[in-house]
Amino acid sequence: MPKSLNAAQAGWIFFISYAAGIGLSLLMLSGSGEVLRLDYFLLYVVLGQVGCNVLPALIWLRYKGIPLKEAFLLRRVTWKVLGLSVCIYALFQVFLLFVHQATSLVSLALGSAYQMSVYPVANDWLSLLVLLVCIGLLPPICEELLFRGALLGGYRVRGTLFAASMSALLFALFHDNPYRLAELFLAAWISALIVLRARSIIPGVVVHIATNIAYVVGSYAAAGDLVGAAGERAGAGAASLIVLGAASIPCLWGCWLLLRKLGSMTESRQNAVKVEGEAAAARGAYWLLPVGLAGILFVVKVAWL
C-alpha cells in the first residue's frame, strides 16, 4: 500500500505555496507596471507557477519518500475517459455562467460592482503566443499538480467529496478574488470530481488547458476580457438569469450521469488508489490550522495588499 500525504501536510503545502506566491507578487508587481512587459510577465509566471506552486510539494514528497506518480495521480487514461471528462466540464459551463450572472446581480444589489480577475490580453501574434504559454499552458499544468494532485491526494484520506471540496476551496482562495469565490470553487470542484472519477490528473490538466487557451484566444479575438464579454452577451437581467438557471438543470443532470459513467469505466482501479494516511488524518483538528492561516492571509491580501 503506497504512502500518501495527509490532510495537515496538504494544508501546509498550500499555505507555503500561497504565502510564497503573495510574496513574489509584492516583490515583482507592487507599484510597478512591468507586468505589462511580456518578458517580465513570463519570468513572473515561471517563478510563481514552478517555484511557488510545484516546488514546495515536490520537495515535501521527495523528503517523505512518497512516489510522485501516486501523489500527482500520473496515470494514463483512454480517449473515451478523456472525451467524457471534457463533455462533463463543457456541460458544467452553463451552470458556471449562471453562477457568474447571479453573483454579478447580487454584487450590484449590495452596491458593489462585480470585479473581474485582471489578466493581460494579447494584442498581436507575439503577445498571443507568449500568453498561450504564460496563461494557457504553465498555470494549468502547475496548478493541477498542486490542487488536483498533491492537495487532492492529501485530503482524499478523509473522503472523496471532502477532498474535492477542500481542494476546490483552496483553489478559490488562491485566485484572490472575493467576487469569483463561488464560480472558482465550483469550477475546481467539478474538475476534482472528474480527476477522482478518472483516477488520473490527466483529464484535469486537459480541461484546464482547454479553458485557459479558450480564454486567451477568445480575449484576443474580442479585444477584451472573454468572461466579461460572455457575461455582457448573456445579459445581466432577471430574464437571462432565469433562462440560464433553467438551462442549468438538464446540464447538471447530464454531468451527474456522465460522472457515474466515468466512475464505472475506471472502477477497476479503485482498490489501487487506496493509500496510507487515515490514522494521521484522524488526529484531531490540526489539519485546520494551515487552512485557517491561509484564510486569514486571503482576507489580509484582499483588504490591504
pLDDT at 151 over 90: yes
Distance CA 158, CA 155 (A): 6
Longest Cα–Cα distance in the chain: 55
pTM equals 0.90
105 exposure class (CB count in 10 Å sphere: 0-12, 13-18, 19+) = middle
Distance CA 219, CA 230 (A): 10
The closest alpha carbon to 89, from 232, 245, 259, 214, belongs to: 259
- Cβ atoms 99, 182 nearer than 8 A: yes
Place 282 in a pLDDT band, splitting at 50, 70 and 90: very low
Interacting residues of 245 by C-beta distance below 8 A, sequence separation 6+: 98
For residues 297 and 305, give the distance between their C-alpha atoms in angstroms, rounded to a whole number. 10
Lowest mean pLDDT among 29-38, 63-72, 140-149, 210-219: 29-38
Instruction: Using pLDDT thresholds of 50, 70 and 90, give the confidence band for residue 34.
Output: very low
> What integer is the mean pLDDT of 166-188?
95
Q: Which residue is associated with the grid cell 502547475?
A: 142
Burial 212-221 (b: 16+ CB within 10 A, else e): bbebbbbbbe
Per-residue pLDDT tens over the stretch 36-85: 578 888 999 999 999 999 999 999 999 999 999 999 999 999 999 999 99
Per-residue model confidence (pLDDT) at position 259: 95
Quick one: pLDDT at residue 233?
Answer: 57
Q: For the chain, how many residues are written? A: 305
As a whole number of angstroms, the distance between CA 96 and CA 93 comes to 5
pLDDT score recorded for residue 2: 55
The whole-number pLDDT of residue 229 equals 59
Angle formed by the axes of helices 160-174 and 7-28, to 10°? 10
Q: How far apart are CA 3 and CA 275, in angstroms?
A: 6
**Mean pLDDT value of segment 221-244:** 72
Q: Is the pLDDT assigned to residue 90 strictly greater than 60? A: yes
User: What's the mean pLDDT in 125-132?
Assistant: 93
Give the list of residues 6+ apart from residue 34 with CB closer than 8 angstroms, or none: 28, 40
Question: How far, in Å, are 4, 153, 154 from residue 66 at the CA level?
Answer: 6, 11, 11
- pLDDT at res. 272: 43
Share of the chain above pLDDT 70, in %: 88
pLDDT interval class at 227 (50, 70, 90): low
117 versus 17: which is more confidently predicted? Answer: 17
Query: Residue range 279-294: average pLDDT?
Result: 77
- The amino acid occupying position 227 is V
Please count the other Cβ atoms lying within 10 Å of the Cβ belonging to residue 277: 24
